[in-house]
Amino acid sequence: MNASTLWIFLPILTGALLLFLRNQRWVAFVAGGLSFLLALTAWLLPIETTLALGSYAFKLSSTFEILGRRLILTTNEQPILTLIYGAAAFWFIASPSVDKAHRLAPLGLVQVGVLVAALAVEPFLYAALLIEVAVLLTTPLLLSGRDKPGRGLLRFITFQTLAMPFILFTGWLLRGIEADPGASALIRQAAILLATGFVFLLAVFPFHTWIPLLSEETSPYLTGFVLWVFPTSALLFATGFVDRYAWIRTAPQLPQILSTVGALMVAGGGLMAAFQNNLGRIMGYAVILETGFSLLTLSLLKTQGIDLFFLLFVPRLLALALWALCLDILRQNAASLSLQDVRGLARPWPFASVGLIFAHLSMAGLPALAGFPIRLAILEDLATVSLSVAAWAFIGSVGLLAAAVRTIAILVAAPAELAWEARESWPQRLFIILGGLALFGLGAFPQWVLPLLNRLPAIFEHLGG
């Protein structure tokens, strides 16, 4: 048996078959259950090791050849497979509570399988084409047959697609650099093309506008999944470039570029969130801020940056999933997510309102929540390198915190005669409570995720070695 068959082709095939199943609960159960089993097998089942079950022996081989290309999944990739499929299981299982399983579970499972293939493909640059396939799948994921694409979706597809030719042209130039490592002109051209491609891919200013627009126009839960899966895969793809090519990894300008771009995204995302009048747009700017913090951790590679890079993953997942779930509940019961339309919704929808606030505060780095320990560690390390960058990162966090305060004020601003009640369904209450407890638990005991996160840096041969 081959590892690619288990963690790439099986989820893609299952997702395609689930498109024909109409029962939402069964779709979510199959997609979520399969994702959980894939996460569990990635954690427990070794690759390239012969296992015996009674008289039957089998081995998971690491390499799969297709059309002259190779898909390689080794033991080093298993922790990231555990994280990706475990996170996907969380998104899929909760989706029926907001009536989104019929689109999210099948297409989301296919997207995850394609993006895992992007992490496994050799030559590495073919990952850009696989990411583009996943991007194109976003249209049926976010839109039903009756909807017209909004500006956010069109910009998302446009900017993500524009990134591909720049990255592929870089691959063509890399052949010349490998043949002549001292060719400074080729190195300069490749660096410019590569940087331009990742500016589009990571939604760096001014190509970030699709994120708040998409968060405002479409279902928050579906948008939240997109805003989890694509920035995560893009960051892993970018870090893979840094790890594979020594001329990038050793470039003296790299830490300065990463810290400048990261500080711009953190400060800009946080400050813009503070002035938004739509809860969906606030979530979008929070994702921009989180991407900025990931870039800031990569600027600290000479200290413990790669560890901090992976430590951001789990708190971000928990906060974003809970935030998107609660926003979707509120959106289904309000004219829109504008502050005017959600005024006073904390009384009829208290679980969704409290869950949204906890997720928001966690992403802002409030003490006692999951985002605080890692945010504090990043700011401490940044302060030892550049006080100005640390200051801008802190300002961005304060801006996101100010947005949370505004949100609280609006949600509780109801007439005194409006009674408190809980209109959320029991499944919605259950997922919100579990998400809130996870944020508090990880904030109080961040070491719980260390067994997984300690193994993640090994996927990068040079950065994590």
Instruction: Give the DSSP H or E segment for 329.
Output: helix 313-332
Kindly report, residue by residue over 129-162, the tens digit of the pLDDT.
888 899 998 888 888 767 778 888 999 999 999 9
Kindly report, residue by residue over 295-340, the tens digit of the pLDDT.
999 888 765 668 888 888 889 999 999 999 999 999 988 888 889 8
Q: What pLDDT sits at residue 176?
A: 63
DSSP secondary structure, 362-398, as one string: HHTT-TTSTHHHHHHHHHHHHHHH-HHHHHHHHHHHH
Q: What pLDDT sits at residue 444?
A: 85
Kindly report, residue by residue over 399-448, the tens digit of the pLDDT.
999 999 999 999 988 777 777 888 888 999 999 999 999 999 988 888 77
Q: Is 195 in contact with 261 (CB distance < 8 Å)?
A: no
pTM, two decimal places: 0.91
- Map out the domains of the chain as residue ranges: 1-122, 123-459
Which of the two residues, 188 and 219, has the higher pLDDT score? 219
Q: What pLDDT sits at residue 181?
A: 59
Kindly report, residue by residue over 54-105, the tens digit of the pLDDT.
667 667 777 888 777 888 888 888 888 888 999 999 999 999 988 888 889 9
Kindly report, residue by residue over 369-411, the tens digit of the pLDDT.
988 988 998 998 888 888 999 999 999 999 999 999 999 999 9
Q: Look up residue 46 and give its DSSP letter.
A: -
Q: What pLDDT sits at residue 32?
A: 92
Going 20 to 26 to 32 to 36, the CA torsion angle's sign is negative
Q: How far apart are CA 167 and CA 208, in angstroms?
A: 18
Q: What is the mean pLDDT of the chain?
A: 86
* pLDDT interval class at 188 (50, 70, 90): confident
Q: Cβ of 415: how many Cβ atoms within 10 Å?
A: 7
Q: Is 249 in contact with 462 (CB distance < 8 Å)?
A: yes
